[in-house]
């Protein structure tokens, strides 16, 4: 079968990627390009002229499209080792910092006092042990008393090490070069030991992006599937990535599932919070039927209608399930068997049961 532009078989290419658009975009594209025009029926005896095209069966990976925010791959929740009142936080969200840079601190008055108490206890235990050693040499104390004095020194030193460690961990410093992703506390707040104060992103060459999927797309995606990340800041750029985490629990408000993709920046300058589109290519193939977009009428985001010819050249209307859209081609799922040709031109003006004449 040929059209005005050449053999229709040249337009129908099996086994090429089919783009799956978000519901709102697919609705716009399909409805705008191949909606059903409300026309009056022809006078009795008149026949509409149409063109037909063969349907093409194809098996291949149908990509899933989504979007999300780019973030550093490694995130760390920074907290204080001990409880206390936050005295100062020196950084804001989105601020880049260098390794070992001062970020936040507790009020250290109480903690320094604890260190001083531990130091005094250690000094006293040391003096007591030195005295016990002299007395033991003069047989004035027993071996047990000498050993107990040494144990007291060791215990006091351990308590001093703990106090000094707590003092050191009462100040937060940047573990690596990175960016402050979120502030979870404020100055003058009382925080418990280990309670996150800052969310810190480590800046490397690798990034991650989190996108949401509907349940229809969720069942098609697996860990390890390849993906392409297309940052809005770099039009036309496709950064290769890989699915490394898929949430098994939907969001309480959205009902969608999170999927996380890690990727390399390939030398492109990126920043946390950049918007990007995502194309995920499932490893598992999927069987679809390909038809020209002009053949689909009365389409919404998930379904549409086609016309095929009966043996008596009467147009019959059937409902089909839309899987995706690629250029001028539409991919359909669960296509009814036994239909090898559909009306590709003139379908928008047809009604079910109309007689037609095929233009070769």
Q: Helix %, strand %, coil % for the chain, to 5? A: 20, 40, 40
Residues 340 and 276 in one domain: no
Q: Contact at 8 Å (CB) between 81 and 238?
A: no
pLDDT, average across residues 56-64:
76
Q: Contact at 8 Å (CB) between 174 and 80?
A: no
Residues 331 and 264 in one domain: no
Length of the chain: 360
State how far the Cα of 34 lies from the Cα of 176, in Å rounded to an integer. Answer: 54
198 occurs within a structural domain: no
Average pLDDT, the chain: 82
Residues 233 and 269 in one domain: yes
pLDDT at 25 over 90: no
Residues 232 and 293 in one domain: no
How many C-beta atoms lie closer than 10 Å to residue 283's C-beta? 13
230: confidence class by pLDDT, cuts 50, 70, 90: very high
Task: Please state which of the ranges 3-12, 14-23, 58-67 shows the lowest mean pLDDT.
Answer: 3-12
pLDDT, average across residues 208-237:
89
**Cα 95 to chain centroid, rounded:** 23
Residues 277 and 174 in one domain: no
From 191, 224, 255, the end of a domain falls on 191
309's CB contacts (< 8 A; 6+ apart) are 52, 315, 316, 341, 343, 356, 358
Residues 227 and 328 in one domain: no
Record the pTM.
Answer: 0.57
Q: Residue 339, exposed/middle/buried by CB under 10 A (0-12, 13-18, 19+)?
A: middle
Q: What are the tokens at 323?
A: 């899987």
Per-residue pLDDT at 327: 58
Per-residue pLDDT at 45: 52
196 occurs within a structural domain: no
178 occurs within a structural domain: yes
Per-residue pLDDT at 14: 42
pLDDT at 38 over 50: no
Residues 161 and 211 in one domain: no
- 166: CATH: 1.10.287.470
Helix (H, G, I), strand (E, B) or coil at 316: strand
Q: 157-214, pLDDT tens digit by residue?
A: 999 999 999 999 999 999 888 889 889 999 999 999 999 999 998 877 789 999 888 8
332 occurs within a structural domain: yes
How many C-beta atoms lie closer than 10 Å to residue 229's C-beta? 28
Residues 261 and 305 in one domain: no
Residues 109 and 180 in one domain: yes
Q: What are the tokens at 39?
A: 């026309």
State how far the Cα of 360 lies from the Cα of 3, in Å rounded to an integer. Answer: 8
Tell me which residue range forms the domain holding 119. 76-191
DSSP letter for each residue of 91-113: --TT-EE-TT-EEEEE--HHHHH
200 occurs within a structural domain: no
139 occurs within a structural domain: yes
Q: 314-352, pLDDT tens digit by residue?
A: 888 989 888 776 657 788 888 888 888 888 888 888 888
Q: 105-158, pLDDT tens digit by residue?
A: 999 999 999 999 999 999 999 999 999 999 988 888 899 999 999 999 999 999
299 occurs within a structural domain: yes
Residues 149 and 291 in one domain: no
State how far the Cα of 285 lies from the Cα of 62, in Å rounded to an integer. Answer: 7
Residues 121 and 261 in one domain: no
Per-residue pLDDT at 253: 83
Domain count, the chain: 3
From 150, 166, 191, the end of a domain falls on 191
Residues 174 and 133 in one domain: yes
Task: Please state which of the ranges 37-41, 126-130, 246-250, 356-360 shows the lowest mean pLDDT.
Answer: 37-41
199 occurs within a structural domain: no
State how far the Cα of 64 lies from the Cα of 216, in Å rounded to an integer. Answer: 10
- 346: CATH: 2.40.420.20
- 232: CATH: 2.40.30.170
From 156, 191, 226, the end of a domain falls on 191
């Amino acid at each position: 079968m040929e059209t005005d532009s050449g053999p229709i078989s040249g337009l129908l290419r099996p086994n090429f990627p089919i783009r799956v658009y978000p519901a709102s975009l697919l609705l716009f594209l399909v409805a705008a390009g191949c909606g059903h025009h409300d026309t009056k029926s022809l006078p009795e005896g008149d026949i509409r002229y149409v063109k037909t095209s063969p349907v093409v069966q194809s098996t291949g990976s149908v990509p899933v499209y989504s979007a999300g925010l780019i973030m550093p791959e490694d995130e760390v929740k920074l907290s204080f080792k001990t409880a206390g009142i936050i005295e100062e936080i020196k950084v804001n969200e989105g601020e880049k910092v260098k390794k070992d840079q001062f970020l936040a601190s507790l009020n250290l008055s109480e903690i320094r006092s604890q260190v001083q108490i531990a130091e005094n206890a250690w000094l006293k235990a040391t003096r007591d042990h030195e005295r016990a050693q002299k007395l033991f040499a003069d047989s004035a104390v027993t071996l047990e008393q000498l050993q107990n004095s040494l144990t007291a020194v060791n215990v006091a030193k351990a308590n001093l090490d703990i106090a000094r460690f707590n003092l050191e961990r009462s100040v937060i410093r940047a573990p690596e070069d990175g960016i402050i992703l979120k502030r979870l506390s404020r100055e003058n707040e009382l925080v418990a030991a280990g309670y996150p104060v800052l969310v810190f992103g480590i800046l490397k060459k690798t990034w991650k992006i989190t996108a949401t999927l509907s349940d229809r797309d969720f069942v098609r995606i697996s860990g390890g599937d390849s993906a392409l990340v297309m940052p809005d800041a770099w039009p036309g750029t496709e950064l290769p990535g890989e699915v490394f985490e898929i949430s098994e629990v939907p969001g309480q408000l959205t009902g969608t599932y999170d999927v996380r993709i890690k990727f390399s920046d390939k030398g492109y300058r990126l920043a946390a919070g950049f918007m990007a589109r995502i194309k995920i290519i499932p490893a598992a193939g999927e069987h679809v039927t390909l038809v020209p977009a002009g053949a689909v009428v009365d389409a919404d985001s998930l379904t549409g209608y086609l016309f095929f010819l009966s043996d008596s050249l009467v147009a019959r209307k059937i409902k089909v399930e839309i899987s995706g859209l690629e250029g001028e081609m539409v991919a359909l799922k669960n296509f009814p068997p036994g239909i090898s040709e559909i009306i590709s031109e003139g379908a928008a003006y047809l009604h079910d049961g109309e007689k037609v004449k095929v233009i070769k």
